[in-house]
Amino acid sequence: MKTYNGLGENMIIILGIPGVGKTSVLTGVKDCKLVNYGTLMLEIASKEYGITSRDQIRKLSIAKQKAVQKKVAGQLSQMSRVLLDTHCMIRTPSGYLPGLPYSLLKGLTVEALVLVIAKPEEIQARRAKDAARERDSLSVDDIRAEIDMCLNYLAAYSTLAGAPAKVVMNNDGRLESAVAELKAVVAGVWQE
């Protein structure tokens, strides 16, 4: 098992944008420890800044978001053999913020990065149906731009982590196929 500076081992990071169905894909992968980056962020941000929902985190100042990310990095560096569920990037009032800044990546052993994407029209429809979250109302072109940004971030994260990158399509009616692709990545990394 590899380690990086004595910190986190064997982490597969699953990335996406809101509404892509990342959580649905992850639900199909059994027998793996799943850690949600947003949950860790919310736990810290609620204590330090009085935040009550994940959707409020992205509206904090960039400095506060980075401070929370740094604390999450410390927690993650102590974990091993997990699937990390996170956003590839965060749309903030100041622009896009990397979901995996270098300060986080350098303390982890990332074995693989998987970006879940779908057709922009499908993502837009999924976001519109999700009444439990405070989603930004974006055009199909805006969502397409987010997907393009994610592909660029994925390449950068892969380069920085020295880990392979995989894109998994989670189009409507194809969830089982997306789950199978993710399971194949997990099996390839963690085969005994």
pLDDT at 1 over 70: no
Q: What local confidence, expressed as pLDDT, does residue 103 receive?
A: 82
pLDDT at 6 over 70: no
Which residues, listed in sequence order, are joined to residue 114 by a DSSP beta bridge?
14, 166
Reported pTM = 0.86
Q: What is the mean pLDDT of residues 52-58?
A: 85
pLDDT at 175 over 70: yes
User: Mapping DSSP to helix (H, G, I), strand (E, B) and coil, where does residue 116 land?
Assistant: strand
Q: What local confidence, expressed as pLDDT, does residue 4 receive?
A: 35
DSSP-derived letter for residue 162 is: T
Where does the pLDDT of residue 5 fall: very low under 50, low under 70, confident under 90, or very high at 90 and above? Answer: very low
**Tokens representing residue 106 in the block:** 């350098």
Q: Are strands 89-92 and 95-98 parallel, antiparallel or unpaired?
A: antiparallel
User: Mapping DSSP to helix (H, G, I), strand (E, B) and coil, where does residue 7 land?
Assistant: strand
Q: What is the mean pLDDT of residues 144-152?
A: 96
Q: What local confidence, expressed as pLDDT, does residue 32 receive?
A: 87
Q: What is the mean pLDDT of residues 130-146?
A: 80
pLDDT at 85 over 80: yes
- What Å distances lie between residue 32 and 82, 101, 105, CA to CA? 7, 24, 21
Q: What local confidence, expressed as pLDDT, does residue 130 receive?
A: 72
